[in-house]
Amino acid sequence: RCLDWQAEPRPAPAPVPWGPSCGLKHPPLLCPHLYSLRLAQIPDRANLSFPPNIPRSCGPAQAGRAWGHPEPSLNSQWLSLLLLPLLLPGPPPALGMEDASFPHLGESSQPPPRACPPRCSCPRADTVDCAGLDLRVFPDHITRAAQHLSLQNNQLQELPYNELSRLSSLRTLNLHNNLISSEGLPDEAFESLTQLQHIYVAHNKERGHRTSAAVLPQLSVAPQFLPRSLRVADLAANEVTEIFPLTFGEKPALRSVYLHNNQLNNTGLPPDAFHGSQAVVTLSLSSNRLSYVPPSLPSSLERLHLQNNLISKVPRGALSRQTHLRELYLQHNQLTDSGLHAATFSKLHCLEYLDLSHNQLAAVPAGLPHTLAVLHLGRNRIRRVEAARLRGLRGLRYLLLQHNQLGAAGLPAGALRPLRGLHTLHLYGNGLDRVPQALPRRLRALVLPHNRVTTLGARDLAATPTLAELNLAYNRLASARVHRRAFRRLRALRSLDLAGNQLTLLPSGLPASLRTLRLQRNQLRALEPEPLAGLDQLQELCLAHNRLRVGDIGPGTWHELQALQVLDLSHNELSFVPPDLPEALEELHLRGNRISHVGPEAFLSTPRLRALFLRANRLHVTSIAPEAFLGLPHLRVVDTTGNPEPVLVQLPPTAPRRPRAEGP
């Protein structure tokens, strides 16, 4: 992704950024990942003019001398004046009203060709695109008027000062993905680029497999000087170990700096690295070798990426100046409870996103900002959640506690009650044996797969009437332990995932609001109409990897599933296509069964079928009746691979399109 010089779009939840998407504010070729742009052509204007060595004020005598003719006599001069209107195509234009319809005198009416380096493209007078040409030498003949120069994805190893210094109008320089080393980047390389705003020097190192034992020089030292006009600097994915004070310092317009995936330690980042650059809002230092938060970071920061480092503590005061910080990424470090002071985050009054996942925390940190909307604590060693640590976080929307060591005792009743605005709670991969009690009333998504839940009582979910997504997959639920009224209060539930449990029967009392029901990898042996009654909004039903046979599917089972579009019955024990399937069905998955015959009436009830999957059954060449698909005008995919014999399928003709109604 590329960097917007104004602001980077906020992730939700945010991944490690390579940089945000290019916005409309970018000049052409600013984004290193855009290799072609449709640019408007600027028409050249031709003006009526005298020969270049004749000023407009010249009279006929001066004009004659300028053309190399002898001075005419007085009579000749009068004759010239009389004949002049006949020689011109029309009256001369008024001052300031010259038009391209008037050709240059003594010149071609066609504009001169624009100079452009060989093999490159110059879609505009100020744009030179030499990307992806496998260039090994800096191109010649780049116009001095160039403002945007794209050289990414080449084999350049050095930047010649004499060539670069000519381009004083450059605003964007893209050198992404070359082989430029510190030796090939002289200290004075950017000295004359006083208007440069965006520079991309990311990923300048050896690529692919080596063909020899020789190691190419790396970009290990950042340029000592970058122009004061700079707004965006990207030196990511190199081998940088050292930054100088004027690399990023004294840049009042600088807003975004990307240094992730380098070899920086705290020694290589001087304390005054950002002195005089107090407009920086985005700083990425992830995937380096930092052991603590660098001091003297810009107070203007809004996004700080420090993930994938060696940070073991963030003491009090380390972030006291960053009062505008909205997103802080500290995942994949070595943080422990003792490494986070109770006042570490006390000054971060704007913080909305905090990622502390993949550390060594045993408890929820104290002193969390009340402005938090997303708190990521996954993959730590948390054994207990205390309500006191969450008090005041009324605006928290997403709490991620997956892959910790939480048991029933570690999440007591009411522990999450202070989180009144909580929308999503992730608890998968813990050791919970029941649904947490006293959940926030406004909870919309409860994600609990890969726990040890064995029972679902009548009131376990009664306090969350707005729940829209419930995921209890891969627990230990048996049919006898799921109360028939367990879901009765969930009138807004749209997605229910009970896959990977020990259910032998469909649960009773399923909400009529369901759109998706997942029951794969259980022990279902029979289907009856009653549990599916009233599910007239259900669109997707997954029953794969069970023990269903056609004879165990009761008559009328599918009758009320009027909106069902996707039905997955793969990997069961079906010997033929179940009859009376829902009319709205568009996808039918039957792979991995025992189907050996498909009769002519198999799909009479499913005229909207678009895709049919019969892979890995027991079909032979003559197993499918020729007229089986005649009533399926929308059918476009039939998968019969993996059967004992190749099965040729002839798709029905395309349904004729209805003519559009003509207007009055």
DSSP conformation letters of 572-618: S--SSPPSS--TT--EEE-TTS----B-TTTTTT-TT--EEE-TTS-
The percent of residues in the chain predicted with pLDDT above 90, rounded, is: 76
Q: For the chain, how many helices (H) and strands (E)?
A: 6, 23
pLDDT for 543 beyond 90: yes
pLDDT for 81 beyond 70: no
More confident position, 241 or 81: 241
The pLDDT assigned to 1 comes to 32
The percent of residues in the chain predicted with pLDDT above 70, rounded, is: 80
Q: Is 531 helix (H, G, I), strand (E, B) or coil?
A: helix
> What confidence tier does 404 reach under pLDDT thresholds 50, 70, 90?
very high
More confident position, 41 or 403: 403
Q: Domains of the chain: which residue ranges? A: 530-656
What CA–CA distance (Å, rounded) separates 157 from 145?
Answer: 24
> What confidence tier does 45 reach under pLDDT thresholds 50, 70, 90?
very low
How many Cβ atoms are within 10 Å of 106's Cβ, its own excluded?
Answer: 11
> What confidence tier does 82 reach under pLDDT thresholds 50, 70, 90?
very low
pLDDT tens digits along 440-449: 999 999 999 9
The pLDDT assigned to 215 comes to 62
pLDDT for 102 beyond 80: no
Q: What is the mean pLDDT of residues 244-265?
A: 98
> What confidence tier does 664 reach under pLDDT thresholds 50, 70, 90?
very low
Alpha-carbon torsion angle 174, 180, 182, 185, nearest 10:
-60
DSSP strand pairing (424-426 vs 398-400): parallel
Of 184-193, 240-249, 257-266, 532-541, minimum mean pLDDT range: 184-193
- CA distances 373 to 330, 392, 529, 623, 648, Å, are 16, 12, 43, 58, 55
With b for 16 or more beta-carbon neighbours within 10 A and e for fewer, the 427-437 pattern comes to: bbbbebebbbb
Task: Please give the DSSP secondary-structure letter assigned to residue 97.
Answer: -
More confident position, 19 or 379: 379
Of 44-53, 418-427, 441-450, minimum mean pLDDT range: 44-53
The pLDDT assigned to 652 comes to 82
pLDDT for 558 beyond 50: yes
Q: Helix, strand, coil % (nearest 5) of the chain? A: 5, 15, 80
> What confidence tier does 75 reach under pLDDT thresholds 50, 70, 90?
very low
Q: Is 226 helix (H, G, I), strand (E, B) or coil?
A: coil
pLDDT tens digits along 568-610: 999 999 999 999 999 999 999 999 999 999 999 999 999 999 9
Tokens 């200290």 found at: 187
Q: Is 389 helix (H, G, I), strand (E, B) or coil?
A: helix
Pick from 352, 294, 349, 299: which is nearest to 321 by CA? 299
Please state the pTM of the whole predicted model. Answer: 0.80
DSSP strand pairing (127-129 vs 121-124): antiparallel
Cis bond before residue 13 (omega within 30° of 0): yes
Q: What is the mean pLDDT of residues 3-11?
A: 40
The pLDDT assigned to 212 comes to 52
Tokens of 4: 């917007």
Bridge partners, 446 (sequence order): 425, 470
> What confidence tier does 210 reach under pLDDT thresholds 50, 70, 90?
low
Tokens 């001095």 found at: 144
pLDDT tens digits along 305-325: 999 999 999 999 999 999 999
Q: Is 430 helix (H, G, I), strand (E, B) or coil?
A: coil
Q: Is 504 helix (H, G, I), strand (E, B) or coil?
A: coil
pLDDT for 486 beyond 60: yes
The pLDDT assigned to 113 comes to 54
What CA–CA distance (Å, rounded) separates 158 from 174?
Answer: 14
What CA–CA distance (Å, rounded) separates 158 from 185?
Answer: 6
What CA–CA distance (Å, rounded) separates 374 from 328?
Answer: 11
Transcribe 271-303 into DSSP letters. TTTTTT-TT--EEE--SS--SSPPSS--TT-SE
Task: Please give the DSSP secondary-structure letter assigned to residue 411.
Answer: S
Pick from 109, 234, 124, 204: which is nearest to 169 by CA? 124
Tokens of 550: 């056609």
Tokens 């709670």 found at: 425
Determine contact, residues 273/297, Cβ cutoff 8 Å: no
pLDDT for 66 beyond 90: no
Q: Is 150 helix (H, G, I), strand (E, B) or coil?
A: strand
Show Cβ contacts of residue 529 under 8 Å, excluding neighbours closer than 6 positions.
554, 555, 556, 557, 559, 560
Of 187-196, 207-216, 329-338, 637-646, minimum mean pLDDT range: 207-216
pLDDT tens digits along 407-418: 989 999 889 999
What CA–CA distance (Å, rounded) separates 3 from 355?
Answer: 22
Pick from 617, 612, 594: which is nearest to 602 by CA? 612
Of 26-30, 293-297, 301-305, minimum mean pLDDT range: 26-30
Q: What is the mean pLDDT of residues 269-283?
A: 97
Q: What is the mean pLDDT of residues 393-401?
A: 97
Of 108-122, 221-235, 315-329, 492-506, minimum mean pLDDT range: 108-122
The pLDDT assigned to 2 comes to 35
pLDDT for 364 beyond 70: yes
pLDDT for 658 beyond 90: no
Show Cβ contacts of residue 658 under 8 Å, excluding neighbours closer than 6 positions.
none
Q: What average pLDDT is seen over the chain?
A: 85
φ/ψ bin of 338: left (φ > 0), alpha (ψ from -120 to 50), beta (otherwise)? alpha
Show Cβ contacts of residue 459 under 8 Å, excluding neighbours closer than 6 positions.
none
Transcribe 340-383 into DSSP letters. B-TTTTTT-TT--EEE--SS--SBPPSS--TT-SEEE--SS---
Pick from 536, 605, 613: which is nearest to 568 by CA? 613
> What confidence tier does 62 reach under pLDDT thresholds 50, 70, 90?
very low
* DSSP strands (E only) in 498-593: 516-518, 540-542, 566-568, 587-589
Superfamily of domain 530-656: Ribonuclease Inhibitor (3.80.10.10)
